[in-house]
Every structure is written in structure tokens, then in C-alpha cells.
């Protein structure tokens, strides 16, 4: 794995804890849908877990993370509390958004998750505004905005990168490049050789990194975050990864060549990271198994809470449209 | 100059005053848009002149020509506790930022279950009359009024522009603030400093008994001119300036039409599927059986805004066209 600055053991184990929590949530959520216990559109982040896990250890609770409909990995990594998170995915009144946001729009302001958008590319211009507020207030907060490779072809991406550069905003643009924009393979939809190359057009650093390598990802993210925190402006990070479970649940990835999928699964970053941690002496098999078991137990408790929670009352339709007491 | 003349200002000055007063009152008020800082001339219409000089280029930011970036930054800033006022130079350019306005600004309060809200104002101007053709003069208020979560205002005079802008800036939800380009330099009564005009309150600008004329923005002035002609003919018209399009002030409208039994709605936007249709539907529902005539609507021709002067003049709802609709309603 990479050299230069190295994450400590505690950091590595925290990355592992978060990444495996994400996988637990993903597995469990899919099982619940398949069992008919919940009905919901679902965009699995399986395969991309290490990216937010390795980013989040360099963030503070006050930092902002903006993400998309494929976002549960980013939300869990930012520390969203499990019970209201799961309840939101289930559309329950006890959810972070009272069930009014749902899986594509999970937000939790107290965890620094103010926006989760279902519109490709739309989070980038909003991230600039969050960062502008931090800049004006003189805090050292940074904003991380996550999006896919497909989003780098929409206008909002280009407008946002340019503005962030002109205003020297504390934003980290994280492109989780999983190789497919919905069903379209990278090279059939994107003219640039890499997404990172696009940083050059806006005068900001464009950094390509193996998003499936926890150490490399941590190094790239911590460097970009430190740069933003110091007031030196935005970075475009391209984290290369792979999407194992289709664009959304029910998509069998028929457009991905079988050999490509098989190779990606053989290189699954989670078991690879697990083996590496043991091999390097950072943890024993038993310690990692304990982390995994704790995740499963905590998530199961959240699922029970979610399933037992009531749905929102129909009167909620009239609430939160505008401020309470104002006419909509 | 007499004292009376000295008290008149135009809408550009009123907007500048409101922005200035709001920024002075609350350090979370920030302004962004194309060319708005003094280095770039204080805005192409000078509405923001002097603000960056006084409040700094941190709070008064010129932007690239990038409407999604402008409105997106305003949405994000609003989520993080600012009260941004975004200038979108012309209303047609809001179409470039519709995703940010409709999918984000309007909906985030609801979609987050009330965890967040988006206190931003989008100031924008429009209106036919200067030969700017098909992409610089549309009235799109119905698009915004159709979206839950947005408030839409369209003042017709400097005092209302000042008072409504203050109310919009300090409102906790997104407001679309529609200005009219040909009205910018028409003087009117100066506002009382600090005096806000409430959102959602229409104003009866002339009382009458025979017919209710409902309008807003520039067309209100055509309606007032029509009402004067009618008065000479012995017809007493009540004129209502909506000021706010959404939420509609139905109590004021209903009280008037219940009294007169007749109503004409006039606006510069297209008639079809427009604000007039909404008001007409609500009036017919509330007053069916007591109306003396169907509610009439007057608006722009069903075409893009044309360039050629005779076409442009025929496109807008002129006093003559408004009078024709009134006479039909009075039959």
C-alpha cells in the first residue's frame, strides 16, 4: 500500500468499523426489501464503502457532507444515528426527516448532513453555498460533496467547480467513479480520460486515487481536507471504485461484462482490507470479528426500532411546506 | 425641487435601499449575482450599487454567468444560516436554475421534515417594452406559484418594492421577487424606512362598486388608467394590486368581488394556465350563482414575446384590451 503519511492503527480500525457498518446496512436493507418487509427504491453503495469511511475520519461533526440518492455509505460514515436513519429509510415518523425524505433524501442536520439530493450533480452548487457560509463566518468547517462519474457531465458540476475556484471555497468535490453512469460505461459517456483531469480546467487540483485502497484514500482525503481547512481552496478528488449491485435494486447489471464484474468481485475492497489489517498486524481476526458483530447487533436494534415505529400521520402533508403559521 | 418631489424615488432606488437596510440590520444578509459588486458596476441595473463598497465583497459577491451556481450557492448559504439575496438578472434566466429553485429551495424544508429551511430571495426582473424579444421579457410567475414551498411577489411601485423586499429577506422560506424593467425608473412615493409590506396581503388601491379589477406589477398601471377612463363614463371600478401572487390574498379579493359581482384579472403573463385562471377558478367556486358575469382574464398574446414594435405593443395587455374585457364583463 501507499507510502508517505500513514494512518495510525486506531484510524485504520475506525475506517474498518465504518466500512463494515455500511456493508451490514446494505446487506440487511436488501434482505428486508426482498422479504417484503419494506417497500422502497434502493441504490446500493456496495463496493464503495472505503471511500467515505476513509474520508470521514478526517472530518469533524461540524463539517458538512452533501451526498446523493446513493448515499447511505456517506451518511453512515458521517455518523448519522442508526435508529432514526433506519426509520427514515422505512418512511416512519421517527425518521430523521419524519419519513418525508426517504432513502433518496436522508438528511440529518445534527450530524452535518444538510442535503441529500436525488438530482444528479445538484449537490455541488449547494456545497459551495455551505462552504461560503463557513468562509464568511470564519469557521474552519469544510464541505465534502459526493457524486458519481455521471455527474461530472452535467452543467452543475462545471458551474460549481468554477465558482469554488473563483471564491477559493473550502470544498472537497469527491467523485466516486464506479465506472458506470446508470447503465452507461465511463468511456461511452465521458470525454475526459479521467475525472481528475477536469480539475485543471478550473484551476483546482484534480487528484485521482484508488478509492478501494483505504490508506491511499485516507491520504488523498486528509490532504484535500487540510488544504480546504487552511483556506487554500477546493480539490477535485476522483476515487476509483466499482458498483457491485447495479444502479438501483432490481438492476441485474446486465450491461457490465461478466469478466469485469467477476474481476471486481474478486478484488472486493472489504475482504482485501480485512486481510491486510491482519497481515500488517493492526488487528487480529478476532478483533475484526468483534467489530463486525457489534455492527450487526447495533444495526439489528435499529431495524427493530424502525419496523416498530409508526408511519407519519397524514396531517404531515400540511406541515413543513413553509414555516409553521405561514400560509403556503 | 419641492418637498413633495424630494420624497419620490424609483424602484431601483427602493430596492437598493431595502438591500442596504437589511444588510445593516442583519449580518447574515448576503447578496450575490452577475456583475453586482461595485467593481463590476453595482449591477447592470444598478440595484446593488454601493453595497459592496459599504459591506465588503465577502457579503456582496459578483458571480460568473452561471445561474445554477448562483442559486445553488444561495441555497447552501441559506441552509447554513445566511439570508442570501440572489439576483438573477432576467426572469428568463431563472429557467437555467429551475432545478435548484424547484427541486431544492422549494422542497428542502419538507423533505428534511423541517430540519432545514431555505430563507433565500431570488430577485429578478422582466417585462416587454424594450424590444428585448423572446428570451428576455417573459413573466413566469405561474411556474413558481405552482410549486409548493415558494412565495411569489411582484410589486408595482417603489414603496411596495422596498417593503416587500424587506419582508422576503426576513422570511424563513424562499421568495421569488419579480421586478419589472420598464417600471424601474418610474418615480413613486418613497417608502418609510424600515416599514415592511407583509407577504400575502393585497392592497385595494381604488375603491369602487361596479367591477373589481385585479392586477399586479406593470399591468396594474394599465388597469388604473383603464379605471380612470371608466370613471369618466360613470363606472365605478375597484382596483386591487395583488402585490403577492402566492400565497394569494383571497379574503381581500373575495370581499371586493362579493361586493361588485364582477371581476377582470389582468397580467402581462400568458392567459392560459396563468394566475388569472387560478383567481377565476377560486372566485367561481366561492361566488357561483352571485356573480353577475363570468370572471374575465386579460394577458399577453399566446406567443413568445416578439421584437418588432407593433407586435410587442399588441402582445402586452394594453389599456384598450383591458377596457374591452371590462366592457364585455359589464354587458
Same fold yes or no, B3-189 and B203-330: yes
CA distance B202 to B253: 8
The DSSP annotation for B172-199 comes to SS-EEEEEETTTTT--EEPPPTTPPPPT
Residues 6+ apart with CB under 8 A from B100: A122, A125, A126, B68, B71, B72, B74, B75
- The pLDDT of residue B101 is 98
Q: How many C-beta atoms surround the C-beta of residue B176 within 10 A?
A: 29
Q: How far is CA B83 from CA A76, A124, B169, B170, B310, in A?
A: 30, 19, 7, 8, 43
CATH fold of B203-330 reads: Rossmann fold (3.40.50)
Taking the CA of residue B315 and the nearest CA in chain A, the distance in Å comes to: 32
Collapse the DSSP code of B266 into the 3-class scheme (helix H, G, I; strand E, B; otherwise coil) and give the result. strand
The DSSP annotation for B142-173 comes to HHHHTSTT-EEE--SSHHHHHHHHHHHHTSSS
B315 versus B1: the higher-pLDDT residue is B315
Contact A95 B113 (CB under 8 A): yes
Residues 6+ apart with CB under 8 A from B233: none
Confidence of residue B328 (pLDDT cuts 50, 70, 90): very high
Q: Which residue of B has its CA nearest to A168?
A: B58
- The pLDDT of residue A144 is 98
Contact B114 A129 (CB under 8 A): no
Whether B58 contacts chain A with CB within 8 A:
yes
Indicate if the alpha-carbon torsion angle A312, B248, B72, A136 is positive or negative.
negative
Per CB-CB distance under 8 Å, the chain A contacts of B81 are 133, 137
Among A68, A125, A156, pick the best mutation site for testing chain B contact (most B Cβ within 10 A): A125
CA distance A249 to A25: 14
Please determine, for residue B16, whether its predicted confidence score (pLDDT) is greater than 90: yes
Q: Which three cell numbers stand for residue B175?
A: 421568495
Q: How far is CA B293 from CA A75, B28, B253, in A?
A: 58, 50, 16
Positions of chain A with pLDDT under 50? 1-2
Per CB-CB distance under 8 Å, the chain A contacts of B112 are 96-97, 100-101, 105, 107, 109, 114, 320
Please determine, for residue B308, whether its predicted confidence score (pLDDT) is greater than 50: yes
- Mean pLDDT over each residue of chain A, to the nearest integer: 96
Nearest partner of A196 among A211, A215, A184, judged by Cα:
A211
| Cβ atoms of residues A103 and A115 within 8 Å | no
Contact A159 B66 (CB under 8 A): yes
- The 8-class DSSP code of residue A101 comes to S
- The pLDDT of residue A61 is 97
CA distance B274 to B280: 10
- The pLDDT of residue B40 is 96
CA distance A21 to A82: 10
Q: Which three cell numbers stand for residue A113?
A: 448532513
Kindly compute the dihedral angle of the four CA atoms of residues B103, B105, B109, B115, in this order, to the nearest 10 degrees: 110
pLDDT digits (tens, 9 = 90+) for B179-231: 999 999 999 999 999 999 999 999 999 999 999 999 999 999 999 999 999 99
Contact A101 B78 (CB under 8 A): no
Return the bridge partners of A143, or none. A64, A171
How many residue contacts between A and B have a Cβ separation below 8 Å? 158
Contact A101 B148 (CB under 8 A): no
Among A120, A129, A325, pick the best mutation site for testing chain B contact (most B Cβ within 10 A): A129
Q: Which H or E run includes B239?
A: strand B237-241
pLDDT digits (tens, 9 = 90+) for B128-173: 999 999 999 999 999 999 999 999 999 999 999 999 999 999 999 9
| Cβ atoms of residues B231 and B237 within 8 Å | yes
Taking the CA of residue B60 and the nearest CA in chain A, the distance in Å comes to: 11
Q: How many C-beta atoms surround the C-beta of residue B75 within 10 A?
A: 31
Site of grid cell 429551511: B117
Q: Which residue of B has its CA nearest to A317?
A: B110
Per CB-CB distance under 8 Å, the chain B contacts of A109 are 112, 115-116
| A 184-243 near B (Cβ less than 8 A) | none
Q: Which residue of B has its CA nearest to A159?
A: B69
pLDDT digits (tens, 9 = 90+) for B91-139: 999 999 999 999 999 999 999 999 999 999 999 999 999 999 999 999 9
Per CB-CB distance under 8 Å, the chain B contacts of A134 are 80
Site of grid cell 428568463: B92
Q: How many C-beta atoms surround the C-beta of residue A233 within 10 A?
A: 19
| B 75-134 near A (Cβ less than 8 A) | 75-82, 84, 99-100, 103-104, 108-117
Contact A132 B73 (CB under 8 A): yes
Site of grid cell 465583497: B57
Whether B252 contacts chain A with CB within 8 A:
no
Radius of gyration in angstroms for the set of CA atoms belonging to chain A, rounded to a whole number: 19
- For residue B247, say if its preceding peptide bond is cis, omega within 30 degrees of 0: yes
CA distance A86 to A81: 9
> What superfamily does domain B3-189 belong to in CATH?
Thiamin diphosphate (ThDP)-binding fold, Pyr/PP domains (3.40.50.970)
Taking the CA of residue B176 and the nearest CA in chain A, the distance in Å comes to: 14
CA distance B149 to B174: 7
- Mean pLDDT over each residue of chain B, to the nearest integer: 97
Per CB-CB distance under 8 Å, the chain B contacts of A160 are 68-69, 72
Per CB-CB distance under 8 Å, the chain A contacts of B122 are none
Q: Which three cell numbers stand for residue A318?
A: 400540511
- The pLDDT of residue B7 is 87
| Cβ atoms of residues A208 and A240 within 8 Å | yes
Which residues of B does the annotation mark as catalytic? 67, 136
The DSSP annotation for A254-272 comes to TTS-HHHHHHHHHT-HHHH
| Cβ atoms of residues A255 and A226 within 8 Å | no
Q: Domain map of chain B by residue range?
A: 3-189, 203-330
| Cβ atoms of residues A142 and A228 within 8 Å | yes
CA distance A224 to B245: 46
Q: Rounded to 5 degrees, what are φ and ψ at B83?
A: -120, 80
CA triple B241-B245-B248, angle to 5 deg: 90
Taking the CA of residue A30 and the nearest CA in chain B, the distance in Å comes to: 23
Q: Which residue of A has its CA nearest to B61?
A: A167
Contact A156 B74 (CB under 8 A): no
| Cβ atoms of residues B259 and B209 within 8 Å | yes
Collapse the DSSP code of B214 into the 3-class scheme (helix H, G, I; strand E, B; otherwise coil) and give the result. strand
Q: Which three cell numbers stand for residue A243?
A: 458498483
A33 — alpha (psi -120 to 50), left (phi > 0) or beta?
Answer: alpha
- The pLDDT of residue B6 is 58
Contact B30 A124 (CB under 8 A): no
Whether B244 contacts chain A with CB within 8 A:
no
Please determine, for residue B1, whether its predicted confidence score (pLDDT) is greater than 50: no
Site of grid cell 467477476: A262
What pTM value is reported for the model? 0.96
Q: Which residue of A has its CA nearest to B201?
A: A327
Let me know if domain A9-307 sits in CATH 3.40.50.970: yes
Amino acid at each position: 500500500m501507499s507510502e508517505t503519511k500513514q494512518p495510525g492503527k486506531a484510524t485504520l480500525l475506525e475506517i474498518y468499523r465504518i466500512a463494515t457498518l455500511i456493508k451490514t446496512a446494505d446487506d440487511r436493507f436488501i434482505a428486508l426489501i426482498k422479504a417484503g418487509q419494506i417497500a422502497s427504491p434502493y441504490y446500493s453503495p456496495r463496493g464503495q464503502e472505503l471511500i467515505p469511511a476513509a474520508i470521514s475520519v478526517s472530518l469533524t461533526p461540524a463539517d458538512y457532507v452533501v451526498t446523493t440518492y446513493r448515499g447511505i455509505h456517506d451518511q453512515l460514515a458521517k455518523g448519522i444515528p442508526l435508529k432514526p436513519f433506519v426509520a427514515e429509510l422505512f418512511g416512519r415518523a421517527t425518521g430523521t426527516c419524519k419519513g418525508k425524505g426517504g432513502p433518496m433524501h436522508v438528511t440529518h442536520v445534527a450530524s452535518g448532513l444538510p442535503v441529500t439530493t436525488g438530482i444528479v450533480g445538484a449537490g455541488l452548487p449547494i456545497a459551495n453555498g455551505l462552504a461560503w457560509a463557513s468562509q464568511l463566518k470564519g469557521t474552519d468547517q469544510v464541505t465534502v460533496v459526493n457524486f458519481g462519474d455521471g455527474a461530472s457531465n452535467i452543467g452543475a458540476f462545471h458551474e460549481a467547480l468554477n465558482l469554488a475556484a473563483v471564491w477559493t471555497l473550502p470544498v472537497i468535490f469527491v467523485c466516486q467513479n464506479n465506472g458506470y453512469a446508470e447503465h452507461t460505461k465511463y468511456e461511452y459517456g465521458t470525454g475526459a480520460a479521467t475525472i481528475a483531469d477536469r480539475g485543471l480546467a478550473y484551476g483546482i487540483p484534480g487528484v485521482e486515487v484508488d478509492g478501494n485502497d483505504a490508506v491511499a484514500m485516507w491520504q488523498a482525503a486528509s490532504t484535500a481536507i487540510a488544504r480546504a481547512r487552511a483556506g487554500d481552496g477546493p480539490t477535485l478528488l476522483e476515487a476509483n471504485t466499482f458498483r457491485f449491485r447495479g444502479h438501483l435494486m432490481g438492476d441485474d447489471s446486465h450491461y457490465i461484462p461478466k469478466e469485469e464484474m467477476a474481476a471486481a468481485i474478486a478484488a472486493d475492497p472489504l475482504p482485501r482490507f480485512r486481510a491486510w489489517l491482519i497481515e500488517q498486524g493492526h488487528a487480529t481476526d478476532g478483533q475484526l470479528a468483534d467489530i463486525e458483530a457489534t455492527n450487526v447487533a447495533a444495526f439489528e436494534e435499529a431495524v427493530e426500532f424502525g419496523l416498530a415505529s409508526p408511519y407519519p400521520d397524514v396531517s404531515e402533508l400540511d406541515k413543513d411546506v413553509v414555516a409553521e403559521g405561514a400560509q403556503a | 425641487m419641492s418637498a413633495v418631489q424630494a420624497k419620490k424615488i424609483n424602484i431601483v432606488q427602493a430596492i437598493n435601499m431595502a438591500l442596504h437596510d437589511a444588510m445593516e440590520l442583519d449580518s447574515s444578509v448576503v447578496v450575490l449575482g452577475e456583475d453586482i459588486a461595485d467593481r463590476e458596476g453595482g449591477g447592470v441595473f444598478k440595484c446593488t450599487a454601493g453595497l459592496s463598497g459599504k459591506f465588503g465583497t465577502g457579503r456582496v459577491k459578483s458571480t460568473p454567468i452561471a445561474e445554477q451556481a448562483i442559486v445553488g450557492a444561495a441555497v447552501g448559504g441559506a441552509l447554513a444560516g445566511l439570508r442570501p439575496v440572489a439576483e438573477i438578472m432576467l426572469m428568463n434566466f431563472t429557467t437555467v436554475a429551475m432545478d435548484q429553485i424547484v427541486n431544492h429551495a422549494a422542497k428542502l424544508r419538507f423533505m428534511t421534515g423541517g430540519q432545514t429551511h431555505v430563507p433565500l430571495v431570488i430577485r429578478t426582473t422582466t417585462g416587454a417594452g424594450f424590444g428585448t424579444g423572446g428570451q428576455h421579457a417573459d413573466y413566469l410567475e405561474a411556474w413558481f406559484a405552482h410549486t409548493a414551498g415558494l412565495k411569489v411577489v411582484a410589486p408595482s411601485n417603489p414603496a411596495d418594492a422596498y417593503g416587500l423586499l424587506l419582508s422576503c429577506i426576513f422570511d424563513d422560506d424562499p421568495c421569488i421577487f419579480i421586478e419589472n424593467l420598464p417600471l424601474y425608473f418610474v418615480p413613486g412615493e418613497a417608502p418609510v424606512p424600515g416599514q415592511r409590506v407583509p407577504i400575502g396581503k393585497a392592497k385595494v388601491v381604488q375603491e369602487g362598486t361596479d367591477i373589481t379589477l385585479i392586477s399586479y406589477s406593470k399591468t396594474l398601471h394599465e388597469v388604473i388608467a383603464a379605471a380612470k377612463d371608466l370613471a369618466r363614463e360613470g363606472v365605478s371600478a375597484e382596483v386591487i394590486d395583488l402585490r403577492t401572487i402566492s400565497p394569494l390574498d383571497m379574503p381581500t379579493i373575495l370581499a371586493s368581488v362579493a361586493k361588485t359581482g364582477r371581476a377582470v384579472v389582468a397580467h402581462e403573463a400568458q392567459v392560459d394556465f396563468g394566475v388569472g385562471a387560478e383567481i377565476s377558478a377560486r372566485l367561481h367556486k366561492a361566488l357561483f350563482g352571485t356573480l353577475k358575469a363570468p370572471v374575465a382574464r386579460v394577458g399577453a398574446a399566446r406567443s413568445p414575446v416578439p421584437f418588432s414594435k407593433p407586435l410587442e405593443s399588441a402582445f402586452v395587455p394594453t389599456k384598450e384590451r383591458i377596457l374591452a374585457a371590462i366592457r364585455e364583463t359589464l354587458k
